[in-house]
Structure 1
Amino acid sequence: MTGHEHGHRHGSPRQPAITRDSYDELYRSAPAVWTGRPNGQLVREASHLLPGRALDAGAGEGGDALWLASRGWRVTAVDFSPVALGRGAAKAAELLLTERIEWRHEDLETWAPPEAAFDLVTAHYLHSAWTDRDAMFRRLAAAVAPGGTLLVVGHRHGEEWGHGHAHAHEAGALYAADDVAAVLDPAQWTDVVTETRDRDPGAAHRTGNPVPDTVLVARRR
């Protein structure tokens, strides 16, 4: 499972990009698939947070993890593509951020992060076959420490779209912020916000995907 959408540079055959093999193929197709810039919703929500421990779920080539680390966070970057993780680790070494990022090859469909361990858990554009999507989001939510922030960004189910690589995502692989909010225990969360926000125009142009972001932000009690 992987999930970044910073912007594409090259073309590739049209196919669903929801498997480990297809994402490895995608990453091998170009020296850099994404722009390397952080996702806009992360910048918006995390710029004001005090640095602590962060989990970047579906880290891809590490644009978000690298940005967080550059701002003083200690980051666990998780993805199911070893190709993407290797690329992110190489960039971290180049930027002298190696000590701040742990790159973990895990499948979020089954991997359970340590509970209450992170001040920020962030997940952008996770795409998968979704064996049990609700359970996966519950595990990510459980990883947030008291007082910490959960940020999940995606695209609403029922919207068909493709991006600059011409990879198509089936509607069943998508989700809305309300879907994520529904798995949160109200007794454990406060300041829960679910919004539809316009995408950054530059990202929409680069990806060929103008579909608005669906954003959940919540704070753990």
Structure 2
Amino acid sequence: MSHHDHRPTALAHRSSAPDRRVRVRVQGAPADSYPALPPEAERGSVRRITEVGEEVLSRPCREVTEFGTPELAALIDDMFLTMHLADGAGLAANQVGVDLRLFVYDCPDDHGTRHVGHLINPVLELPGPGQRRLIDDAEGCLSVPGATMDVARTDRAVARGLDKDGRPLVIEGTGYFARCLQHETDHLVGHTYLDRLATRQRKDALRQMTARRAEVSARRASKAADLGR
């Protein structure tokens, strides 16, 4: 999932001066502070981001069955750095070509709280029909570079899963962060946000991608160069 300029809170923790009032939740737990570049990203290597149309994005991902391994930790580190360099709010493993049920996130909610972490083998829980409030808002995807379309999502979501060591996690999200949890979980069942659009909207998104892909690629490359990656 990508950040959008029309949502200043989405960029606040990276583009503004430090604000001691900003709240942070790491792996679902409150944290006193957190660096703009997460420690995972500091350790990671850049991976290529897959694009819509590639087969790995259109099939369900496999459950993770081995925990606490150096390979799993390295994948998470690489995903954090790749997400950061692409100005992302979330990134699923199949977006770097790995068909495992795993995503990482560094995303604000609508109250300015920054949520940072990873979730493995997630199960998404949404409010029931009587409690559900759908919000239409702009959504982008790092695998559909340059395109933004309105997508209806519930304003609250809970994702249950595991961390890299196999410990249970419950991650709750509201507003923009709830949207992120839904977007990334969609990826793990082989869907992008384009699958939620009408045919005409989907064609519009693909036209935007064609027109802006080169600009997005150049911006990502420039940010990687600035970080020496």
- Using the size of structure 2 for normalisation, the TM-score is 0.29
Instruction: Report the structure, 1 or 2, having the larger helix content.
Output: 2
